[in-house]
């Protein structure tokens, strides 16, 4: 039961990050800076509670991974102004799942049996269909279509950042607990480098420290869940968070949707979640 509780932490906290950050206000630059400040503060506390073995490789790889995360988070938040939270989060999640899965299969040779290949292909189809459904709806004007194109382009950059954040740590086989502090330092460094020209040091950055702590709690939850329930279950449950952001964007932030659009968004989210669960079943 503890394992399921831990696995729900990333679903709840990661699923709420974009929603809460938008609600707290500010632009993407101050929001990203605040998130990274919160994550760093939390990671410093955790470092003294659970001090892992760390060498120079862990520090270098962790910092690079954190910088990549900052790129991913900044561009994800930037895409909200074009598409809103209810479209951004499921599409972003789908892109990340597709990217990490393809790298896992091509680079790390994850799918080695007929069962994992079949499950993986079905999962990818579900995710692609979910992303497409989330991005469509009633016929939009030229301005809305242009915003959607811009939003998708920005999200593509975001997904590459998040992909680098995950892949570089795995490539060098860095243990999760060891990476927490170096990653958070890289996250803050990346956020400062990307946003310093946009005057991010505002009250909104201070507010978003809360969002960074939320992100860190989700990260710790996943690390605690993996040994208790296994990577497959922990990973699958963590995908449920998009429901919070998507429905929160519609009902809490008041993003306007027609009945047709709302139906497409809900079906799209369900397909992305289903794809995430199936991908979890392919993991050992």
Which pLDDT tens digits describe the chain residue by residue (284 residues)? 677 788 889 889 998 999 999 999 999 999 999 999 999 999 999 999 988 889 999 999 999 999 999 999 999 999 999 999 988 999 999 999 899 889 888 998 888 899 999 999 999 999 999 988 887 755 556 677 889 899 999 999 999 999 999 999 989 989 889 999 999 999 999 999 999 999 999 999 999 999 999 999 998 988 888 778 766 667 777 778 888 888 888 888 888 888 888 899 889 989 999 998 898 888 76
CA 34 – CA 27 distance, rounded (Å): 11
The secondary structure of residue 257, as a DSSP letter, is -
Q: Which conformational region is residue 139 in: left (phi greater than 0), alpha (psi within -120 to 50 degrees), or beta? A: beta
- Assigned token pair, 242: 């998009």
Distance of CA 107 to the CA centre of its chain: 21
pLDDT of residue 1: 66
Query: What is residue 3's predicted lDDT score, i.e. its pLDDT?
Result: 78
pLDDT recorded at residue 280? 84
In this prediction, residue 284 carries a pLDDT of 61
The pLDDT of residue 142: 66
Nearest to 97 by CA among 123, 75, 133: 123
Report residue 142 as tokens. 């030229």
The model carries a pTM of 0.91
User: 98 vs 66, 205, 234, CA distance in Å?
Assistant: 21, 31, 18
What are phi and psi for residue 38, nearest 5 degrees?
Answer: -65, -40
Altogether, the residues listed in the chain come to a count of 284
Exposure of 66 in the CB half-sphere (CA atoms within 13 A): 32
**Cβ-contact 264, 133 below 8 angstroms:** yes
Within 13 A of 169's CA, how many CA atoms are on the CB side?
Answer: 24
What count of other Cβ atoms lies within 10 Å of the Cβ of residue 64? 19
Using only C-alpha atoms, the chain has a radius of gyration, in whole angstroms, of 18
CA 12 – CA 3 distance, rounded (Å)? 15
Integer CA distances (angstroms), 16 to 69, 108, 251, in order: 17, 31, 13
Structure tokens at 36: 């990274």
pLDDT score at 244: 87
Closest by CA to 70, choosing from 156, 164, 154, 150, is 164
Non-local CB neighbours of 117 within 8 Å, separated by 6+ positions:
111
């Amino acid at each position: 039961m503890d394992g399921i509780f831990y696995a729900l932490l990333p679903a709840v906290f990661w699923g709420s990050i974009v929603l809460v950050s938008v609600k707290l206000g500010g632009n993407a630059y101050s929001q990203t800076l605040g998130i990274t400040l919160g994550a760093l503060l939390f990671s410093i506390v955790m470092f003294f509670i659970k001090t892992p073995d760390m060498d120079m490789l862990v520090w270098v790889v962790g910092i690079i991974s954190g910088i990549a995360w900052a790129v991913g988070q900044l561009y994800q938040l930037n895409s909200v102004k074009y598409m809103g939270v209810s479209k951004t989060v499921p599409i972003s999640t789908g892109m990340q799942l597709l990217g990490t899965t393809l790298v896992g299969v091509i680079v790390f040779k994850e799918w080695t049996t007929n069962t994992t290949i079949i499950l993986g292909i079905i999962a990818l189809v579900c995710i692609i269909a979910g992303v497409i459904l989330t991005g469509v709806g009633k016929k939009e004007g030229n301005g809305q279509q242009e915003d959607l194109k811009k939003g998708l382009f920005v999200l593509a950059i975001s997904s590459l950042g998040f992909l680098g954040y995950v892949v570089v740590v795995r490539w060098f086989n860095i243990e999760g607990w060891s990476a927490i502090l170096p990653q958070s330092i890289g996250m803050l460094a990346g956020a400062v480098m990307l946003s310093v020209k946009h005057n991010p040091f505002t009250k909104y950055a201070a507010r978003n420290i809360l969002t960074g702590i939320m992100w860190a709690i989700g990260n710790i939850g996943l690390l605690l869940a993996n040994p208790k329930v296994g990577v497959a279950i922990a990973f699958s449950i963590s995908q449920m968070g998009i429901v919070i952001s998507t429905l929160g964007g519609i009902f809490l932030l008041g993003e306007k949707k027609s009945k047709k659009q709302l139906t497409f968004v809900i079906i799209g989210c369900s397909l992305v979640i289903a794809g995430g669960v199936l991908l979890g079943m392919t993991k050992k």
